[in-house]
Amino acid sequence: MYELNICHLYPDLLNLYGDRGNIIALKRRCEWRGINVNVSNISIGDNFDAESYDIIFLGGGQNYEQEILHDDVINQKGNEIRNAISNNKVFLAVCGGYQLLGKFYKTWDGKEIQFLDAVDFWTIGDKKRMIGDFVFECDFLKENGFDGKVVGFENHSGRTYLGPNVKPLGKIIKGYGNNGKDGFEGALYKNVYCTYSHGSLLPKNPAFADHLIALSLKQKYKDFVSLSYLNDEFEELANRTMIKRIIG
């Protein structure tokens, strides 16, 4: 029997608006297929050993909470996170968690906050928030006849810019994405998936959830071939209804 160990980093601080739905989705979709899942909640002061986990999740947080964890994530867990990323560990990082993996965050009034420098991107704050439902298209999801369209909700004031070796996660069909200008959303580097999409992301985009599950099983088990079929009637209906409404 296959088993996946999921690490939810700072669940008590980075838990803005339904981010835990991603953990619920990963867990249920594994369980429905007879794959055992353990979820570990790791927060401030906890020992973090990335090798014990197959998927590491970072959610979004409010400014106040991000300030609280800043020292712990930079000085206590930073090296472990950077090593895990270069060793191809699967990460999913949303919104504030996404920004945290980058080089820095520069506030709209010019203050620069150092981040993890784990992936080559950076974020610049702005006064105007980018809020709303949005749709983007991911090439890595275009298989088995699926069109790769992902739907979510974004709400961020930071504008993120990617360095030369980092690919965007997807192309914006409708909405703002990384910075509202270049037409791209999120970041993809090695096995690190970063996005501004909460909403939650994975329940309503089951292809994305399965992509992450399959990827981590492939890394862990040499004999793993593919995931078994699930009836996703409700999920697909939710996904298609929103895409139709947003794109028109």
Partner 1 sequence: MNLRLTFTIIITKLLIFILRIFKHGGTSLPGKVARKIYPDIIKVISKDFKIIMVTGTNGKTTTTRIIGKVLENNGVTYVTNKSGANLVSGVITTFIDSVDITGKSKASTALLEVDEAAFNVVTDFVQPDILVVTNFFRDQLDRYGELYSTLNNVRSGVEKSPNAKLVLNADDSLCVSLAHNLDRDVIYYGFAHGATDSGESIENSDAVYCLYCKSRYEYSYQVYGHLGAFSCPNCGYSRPLPQVACLKVVDLNSSYSDIEFTLESTDDANERVSHNARINLPGLYNIYNALAAASLGHLLGFPAGSIIKAMESFECGFGRMETIETNGKTIKIILVKNPTGFNQVLTYLLTETQEAQIAFIINDKLADGTDISWLWDVDFEKLEKIQENISMFYTSGIRAEDMAVRLKYAGIYTDKIALIKDHEELLNKALEKTQEGRTLYILPTYTAMLEIRKLLNKKFGLKEFWK
In this chain, which of 142, 163, 237, 247 binds partner 1, going by CB under 8 A? 237
Helix (H, G, I), strand (E, B) or coil at 105: strand
Residue 197 preceded by cis peptide, ω within 30:
no
Whether 95 is catalytic is yes
Within 10 angstroms of residue 140's Cβ, the number of other Cβ atoms is: 15
Cβ–Cβ < 8 Å for 196, 203: no
The answer to whether 233 contacts partner 1 (rule: CB under 8 A) is: yes
Whether 198 is catalytic is yes
Q: Which stretch binds partner 1 (CB under 8 A): 112-120, 162-170, 217-225, 230-238?
A: 230-238
What is the separation, in whole angstroms, between the first and last Cα of the chain? 44
Q: Nearest distance from residue 186's CB to partner 1, in Å?
A: 17
Cα 191 from Cα 89, distance rounded (Å): 6
Sequence-ordered list of residues with C-beta below 8 angstroms from that of 111, at least 6 positions apart, any chain: none
The answer to whether 15 contacts partner 1 (rule: CB under 8 A) is: yes
Q: Nearest distance from residue 134's CB to partner 1, in Å?
A: 11
Strand 55-58 and strand 90-94: the pairing is parallel
Q: Which stretch binds partner 1 (CB under 8 A): 46-54, 98-106, 210-218, 232-240?
A: 232-240
The answer to whether 247 contacts partner 1 (rule: CB under 8 A) is: no
Of 7, 30, 95, 138, which residue is the catalytic one? 95
Q: Nearest distance from residue 11's CB to partner 1, in Å?
A: 9
Q: How far is CA 242 from CA 73, 107, 135, 147, 189, in A?
A: 35, 33, 9, 15, 28
Residues 129-158 that bind partner 1 (CB under 8 A): 131-133, 153, 155
Residues 68-87 that bind partner 1 (CB under 8 A): 68
Cα 27 from Cα 156, distance rounded (Å): 27
Residues 156-215 that bind partner 1 (CB under 8 A): 198-200, 203-204
- Which positions are catalytic? 95, 198
Task: Please report, as ranges, the residues that interact with partner 1 according to CB under 8 A.
Answer: 12-13, 15-21, 24-25, 28, 44, 62-65, 67-68, 131-133, 153, 155, 198-200, 203-204, 231, 233-235, 237-238, 241-242
